[in-house]
Chains A and B, each alone.
Chain A
Amino acid sequence: MLHIKPILSSLLRSKSGPLLLLIQIILSVAIVANASFIIHERLALMSRDSGIAEEEILSFNVYNFDPSMDMAQQNKQDQQILRALPGVISASSTNMLPLSGGGWMDRLVDGPDVETAKSTPGFAFYLGNEQMVDTLGVKIVEGRNFFAEEIRSSPAESGILALVSKPLAQAFWGEESPVGKIMYQGTDQQVEIIGVIEQLQGAWVDHRNFEYSVIANVDWGGQGANSSYMVRAGAAALPGLKDSIIAALHRENPNRVIDNFKTIAEHRASSYRDHELMVTILSMMVVLLLLITSLGLAGMVMFNIERRTKQIGTRRALGARKRDIMSYFLVENYLICLAGGILGALLAVLLGQQLMKFYSLPKLELIYPLLTLAGLLLVTTMAVFFPARKAADISPALATRSV
């Protein structure tokens, strides 16, 4: 039997000690539950699959500062040089890089009349040539890719075609296929949708329209002095690729700065860095909090045992077994933990509501306080177990000796 009644009445008599422990557990549960919830939510964000060959795509920037250069021509030539490099699978100029934190966002409307046209949600607007699909490593699930002869040099020209990501297609057209639909930019610029990509994310990892993307058939690299490229290469070729790209492009024309070499995987890491930081700090907090709570608990139990040496000796002399002494301390701990856990869970929910109100955090799920409580029971059991075993070893003679 657990003998809850005598334990409870002794707890109620010695007000302050257990009360403090109770407060501590309430606060710990509230903090740990919310922290672990945020951790879990951030980890879920960070583990989202981008659907592209992140590790194999090297992106970089070319800044041409030779005023006499024909940018459009140079862009075409540079891409041919890139594709001829050993190990390179494909290459495309681009106006933005996936998961990089910077890029274009746009909308299309479904008719030329401003009054009646319905607008798509905002999407990441990629401009690239016929090699972009292969370079990104995305899959076309419906329709087709651009042909080389369809590539334009500006999004304002006629004959603009577009590939849309599946999540965007579903959000705007539902079950209906978007392939063949004519969309508009403003009132007179037509965009024909020719294909659907299974998955392609935009540049902003925290944006609600992160999965909405469109690729248009525009070789953007010739637009100005500043061009970005993505090159896809096999894992073996990637390490030396940076140097060979710089050498090859400088050989063609030295009047440019070639830099910002980064794989998409690196862009991804830096875009998610803030979340990673949050996860790290919060995990540290959770671990330390449990550590402090359990150490404090162990310290208090030890001192209680010293104070109660006589009492324990007397109980042993009167026939209590070692097991009874141990279970006394453990049950005492469980009582406090449970009470603290329940109140703490309530506080956690309240705190979660405040966080939700002031910051863009989702609602706290109840499983987190419960898990926290389970963790707390486990940790405190260990914290109490060893001092309690020491208490159980007190010999009955000790009690009688000093009387």
Chain B
Amino acid sequence: MFLYYVDLAWRSIRKTPFLSLLMVLAISIGIGITITTLNVYKMMSFNPAGERSTQIHSVQLWSQGPDSWDEFDVNRTYQDVINLRSANLAQRQAAAFRTGMALQSDDESIAPVLQSIRVTDSDFFGIFSVPFLYGSAWEASVDTEPAYQVVIGEKLNRTFFKGENSVGRTVYLNRKPYQVVGVIKEWNPQPKYYDPTNGAFNDAEEIFVPFSLTPIEEFEVWGNTNGWKFEPMLTYNDRLISEKAWIQYWVELQGKEQIDAYSDYLAGYVEQQQALGRFTDPKQPRDKQRLVDIAAWLAQNNVVAEDNKVLVGLSVLFLSVCLVNILGLLLTKFLKRAPEVGVRRAIGASRAQIFAQYMVEVGSIGLLGGVLGLLWAVGALQILSARFDIADGLTRLDLSMWLITPMIAISTAVIAGLYPAWVVCRTKPSVYLKSQ
């Protein structure tokens, strides 16, 4: 029966080619626009942490004085990070900031490259599930006893070591030797959720060095440094003892108990710092700390651009215009075929059968529109990414779209078809038989 309806639908579509084409076009354009904006939205709002999202927390402290910032800063001061690190209370914990240095190897024939580098602790790799190809992170002891060790990415390993296991070999960062302890596999989470502050869709760093080297090597800060009061920064040490915030601090905590315990600890820490004359804002110590999980962190960093939300809203409205448009076209088309329906009813087709037949027809139009719409969307995304230099991660068609698109298309068409099909299956056979 279904196949017969499909056949009927195809005949009917061919009988009114112009009208059918209009309908397919209308659906496809509506779908094309909706899927384009929805895809970008989905890519932006993707949470790469997955189920670990609630276990990874950014530690945030209200270290500013009164009448300065009116919200929590995403970064911490060096002194707070050092204190929290040495307390070592979380399951895993890592400080992190971005720097950059020139990279060379013993092979002089390869030109030095300026690389963006993450300065962090050994737990970083575990917290953010960074996969290793060779070796591993540096020992936890390096986090307290600084050593010139480095973890590099697969791509750099190919450039500088021809892809061999380079663990134990030496690379030079600003001409200083670092020993390779690990090579990570291609790892580029989009959005760059462990640090979206300088572009949420930038590429991940490919070099990682121990945070404990910071005061010795005085790594330049390639991220944001935020200050709420004037502090001269003439030397690196000025930076280290300042109230300026420039380091992200991450902890991994499992379950409510651990989270509560860590919050208690933070509140106690704030109180202790208040006694030392810091954290001067008149707020309760408990309100001067918070743990932000990944989902909230991405929201705090405005990873999903506001413009994109507006676009998704407008394109859904656009789709509804298409829906109304098709509704009107279907109504005229079906009413025109009323005499035919009259005959079918007279020779025994039930209302349900007529209804089903028209729904199949409408659904086929929707499917055609959906397929065409998906092509529009793919084209639009390609053109946009080429023309506007958008991060690849945003314009790649999400796999789920292959399922979502036909679903939206067919249901749009079916919703549009419900009323016309209902009108037409109420047709009284007698009216049309009389006029024949």
A residues neighboring B (CB under 8 Å):
16-17, 20-21, 23-24, 27-28, 30-31, 34-35, 38, 63, 65-67, 154, 156, 185-187, 189, 224-226, 255-257, 259, 270, 273-274, 276-278, 280-282, 284-285, 288-289, 291-293, 295-296, 299-300, 303-304, 306-307, 355, 358-361
The distance from the CB of A132 to the nearest CB of chain B, in whole angstroms, is: 22
A24 touches B324 (CB 8 A): yes
Which secondary structure dominates where chain B touches chain A?
helix
By a CB distance below 8 angstroms, the chain A residues around B384 are 277, 280-281
Please pick, from A38, A226, A277, A295, the residue contacting B388 in the complex, using a CB distance under 8 A. Answer: A277
Q: Which of A23, A38, A281, A285 has the largest count of B CB atoms less than 10 A from its CB? A: A281
Q: Which 9 A-B pairs have the closest CB atoms?
A: A186-B230, A65-B102, A296-B325, A303-B332, A20-B328, A257-B114, A65-B174, A24-B324, A27-B321
A274 touches B307 (CB 8 A): yes
B307 touches A156 (CB 8 A): no
Contact of A281 with B390 at beta-carbon distance under 8 Å, contacts A30-B317, A67-B175 already known? no
Kindly state the separation between the CA atoms of A274 and B388 in the bound complex, as whole angstroms: 8
A270 touches B328 (CB 8 A): no
B231-246 with Cβ < 8 A to chain A: 231-232, 234
A295 touches B102 (CB 8 A): no
By a CB distance below 8 angstroms, the chain A residues around B318 are 31, 285, 288-289
The distance from the CB of B331 to the nearest CB of chain A, in whole angstroms, is: 6
Contact of A34 with B232 at beta-carbon distance under 8 Å, contacts A289-B321, A292-B322 already known? no
**Which of B18-26, B50-58, B145-153 is near enough to bind chain A?**
B18-26
Contact of A38 with B317 at beta-carbon distance under 8 Å, contacts A189-B232, A284-B33, A307-B336 already known? no
A281 touches B311 (CB 8 A): yes
Please pick, from B19, B231, B232, the residue contacting A299 in the complex, using a CB distance under 8 A. Answer: B19
Q: Which of B101, B314, B333 has the largest count of A CB atoms less than 10 A from its CB? A: B314
By a CB distance below 8 angstroms, the chain A residues around B48 are none
Interface size on B, residues (CB 8 A): 57
Kindly state the separation between the CA atoms of A17 and B313 in the bound complex, as whole angstroms: 27
Contact of A303 with B19 at beta-carbon distance under 8 Å, contacts A186-B230, A255-B175 already known? yes
B residues neighboring A (CB under 8 Å):
18-19, 22, 25-26, 29-30, 33, 36-37, 100-102, 112-114, 174-176, 220, 229-232, 234, 305-307, 309-311, 313-315, 317-318, 320-322, 324-329, 331-333, 335-336, 384, 387-390, 419, 423
Please pick, from B29, B37, B336, the residue contacting A288 in the complex, using a CB distance under 8 A. Answer: B29
The distance from the CB of A227 to the nearest CB of chain B, in whole angstroms, is: 11
Contact of A288 with B33 at beta-carbon distance under 8 Å, contacts A156-B234, A360-B306 already known? yes
Closest to B198 in A: A102
Closest to A288 in B: B29
Kindly state the separation between the CA atoms of A280 and B26 in the bound complex, as whole angstroms: 20
A293 touches B232 (CB 8 A): no
Kindly state the separation between the CA atoms of A287 and B37 in the bound complex, as whole angstroms: 17
Closest to A31 in B: B317
Q: Which of A20, A23, A282, A300 has the largest count of B CB atoms less than 10 A from its CB? A: A20
A304 touches B317 (CB 8 A): no
B336 touches A299 (CB 8 A): no
By a CB distance below 8 angstroms, the chain B residues around A281 are 36-37, 311, 384
A63 touches B33 (CB 8 A): no
A sample of 20 inter-chain contacts (CB < 8 A) reads A16-B419, A21-B328, A24-B325, A27-B317, A27-B320, A30-B317, A31-B321, A35-B314, A67-B176, A189-B230, A257-B113, A277-B307, A285-B318, A288-B33, A296-B329, A299-B22, A300-B328, A303-B333, A359-B306, A359-B310
By a CB distance below 8 angstroms, the chain B residues around A273 are 388-389
Kindly state the separation between the CA atoms of A38 and B309 in the bound complex, as whole angstroms: 14
By a CB distance below 8 angstroms, the chain A residues around B325 are 24, 292-293, 296
By a CB distance below 8 angstroms, the chain A residues around B19 are 299, 303
Kindly state the separation between the CA atoms of A152 and B383 in the bound complex, as whole angstroms: 49
Closest to A259 in B: B114
Kindly state the separation between the CA atoms of A307 and B338 in the bound complex, as whole angstroms: 12
B332 touches A304 (CB 8 A): yes
Please pick, from B36, B229, B310, B328, the residue contacting A38 in the complex, using a CB distance under 8 A. Answer: B310
Closest to B324 in A: A24
Please pick, from B33, B315, B331, the residue contacting A16 in the complex, using a CB distance under 8 A. Answer: B331
New A-B contacts (11) at CB < 8 Å, excluding given A28-B321, A291-B29: A17-B328, A24-B321, A27-B317, A63-B114, A65-B102, A186-B230, A189-B230, A257-B102, A257-B113, A277-B390, A296-B22
Kindly state the separation between the CA atoms of A360 and B102 in the bound complex, as whole angstroms: 41
The distance from the CB of B80 to the nearest CB of chain A, in whole angstroms, is: 22
A154 touches B230 (CB 8 A): no
A359 touches B321 (CB 8 A): no
A278 touches B101 (CB 8 A): no
Q: Which of B114, B231, B331 has the largest count of A CB atoms less than 10 A from its CB? A: B114
A355 touches B175 (CB 8 A): no
By a CB distance below 8 angstroms, the chain B residues around A21 are 328
Contact of A295 with B314 at beta-carbon distance under 8 Å, contacts A17-B331, A66-B175 already known? no
Please pick, from A16, A277, A299, the residue contacting B329 in the complex, using a CB distance under 8 A. Answer: A299
A67 touches B174 (CB 8 A): yes
The distance from the CB of B141 to the nearest CB of chain A, in whole angstroms, is: 27
The distance from the CB of B33 to the nearest CB of chain A, in whole angstroms, is: 6
Q: Which of B30, B322, B325, B335 has the largest count of A CB atoms less than 10 A from its CB? A: B325
By a CB distance below 8 angstroms, the chain A residues around B423 are 16
The distance from the CB of A373 to the nearest CB of chain B, in whole angstroms, is: 16
A20 touches B324 (CB 8 A): yes
Kindly state the separation between the CA atoms of A187 and B231 in the bound complex, as whole angstroms: 10
Kindly state the separation between the CA atoms of A255 and B26 in the bound complex, as whole angstroms: 60
By a CB distance below 8 angstroms, the chain B residues around A282 are 311, 314
A293 touches B321 (CB 8 A): yes
By a CB distance below 8 angstroms, the chain A residues around B309 are 358-359
By a CB distance below 8 angstroms, the chain A residues around B314 are 31, 34-35, 282, 285
Kindly state the separation between the CA atoms of A42 and B338 in the bound complex, as whole angstroms: 50
Kindly state the separation between the CA atoms of A186 and B29 in the bound complex, as whole angstroms: 58
By a CB distance below 8 angstroms, the chain B residues around A20 are 324, 327-328, 331
Kindly state the separation between the CA atoms of A23 and B325 in the bound complex, as whole angstroms: 9
A306 touches B102 (CB 8 A): no
B332 touches A186 (CB 8 A): no
Closest to B328 in A: A20
By a CB distance below 8 angstroms, the chain B residues around A187 are 230
Kindly state the separation between the CA atoms of A23 and B331 in the bound complex, as whole angstroms: 15
By a CB distance below 8 angstroms, the chain B residues around A30 are 317
A296 touches B26 (CB 8 A): yes
By a CB distance below 8 angstroms, the chain A residues around B321 are 24, 27-28, 31, 289, 292-293
